[in-house]
Amino acid sequence: MSFNTLLVGRPGQQSIPSARQKFAPLGARPSNFAAGLNEYKAYELHCNDLFRSAHGRVALLAGGVIARLARDYINAEDVYDGPMEDARAGICSNWLLCVWDGNNDFAMWDNKLSEEEIELICGMYEIQMKEWNGTTNVGLKSWWPRPQVWKVSGLNRGYWSPDAEIWFQNRLTNIVAQQYR
């Protein structure tokens, strides 16, 4: 289950969101790309860097598969550390959640994962797909389901259930055995 550890602060200045580029943190691959164990190990190194950073705590708050992956790297009690210093600055960004009704002189702040961080944790690749008419299209593949996919799956019960753990362990076993196609 996802949750937040909110910090009371002043309402922030709204930043202008930058246009988001298509992003695949593990890179672009050709249409015939078949991921192997070496790619998965490289993906784990990227995740290790993220989970051991200050944003690792934020991954635990995300719930679902993202939180489950984070638990292999981070102590669950780290969520009690509360929002990072950037949440206290009060400037909205891709890494901050601001809850404010627009009327009060206070707002609630917490950190959140950026889309790029979510895509990294899910292990996303961009796949160049050749169309029948010769044009190239882009598809996305990932080691783990993105939050919006997990949210509508039958395994999402609002908490990490024994069935979700069985699915997770089976998926991990299949990745290591390279039986995931």
pLDDT beyond 80 at 158: yes
Q: Give the chain's domain count.
A: 1
Residue 127 lies in a domain: yes
The neighbour count for residue 10, using CB atoms within 10 Å, is 13
Residue 115 lies in a domain: yes
Residue 93 lies in a domain: yes
Residue 75 main-chain phi, psi, to 5 deg: -75, 130
Note the pLDDT of residue 180.
62
Note the pLDDT of residue 20.
46
Residue 171 lies in a domain: yes
Instruction: Identify the domain containing residue 106 by its residue range.
Output: 7-176
Note the pLDDT of residue 10.
59
Residue 1 lies in a domain: no
Note the pLDDT of residue 19.
46
- Write out the H or E segment, with its range, that includes residue 119: helix 115-122
Q: In 31-99, which ranges are E strands?
A: 96-99
Tens-place pLDDT, residues 131-153: 777 777 888 889 999 999 999 99
Tens-place pLDDT, residues 84-95: 665 555 555 555
Residue 29 lies in a domain: yes
Cα–Cα nearest to 99, from 85, 90, 113, 109: 109
Note whether 95 and 86 are within 8 A (CB): yes
Note whether 123 and 26 are within 8 A (CB): yes
Tens-place pLDDT, residues 96-144: 555 556 677 777 666 688 888 999 999 999 888 877 777 778 888 899 9
Residue 105 lies in a domain: yes
Average pLDDT over the chain reads 79
CA distance 177 to 70: 22
β-pairing, 7-9 vs 96-99, is unpaired
Residue 162 lies in a domain: yes
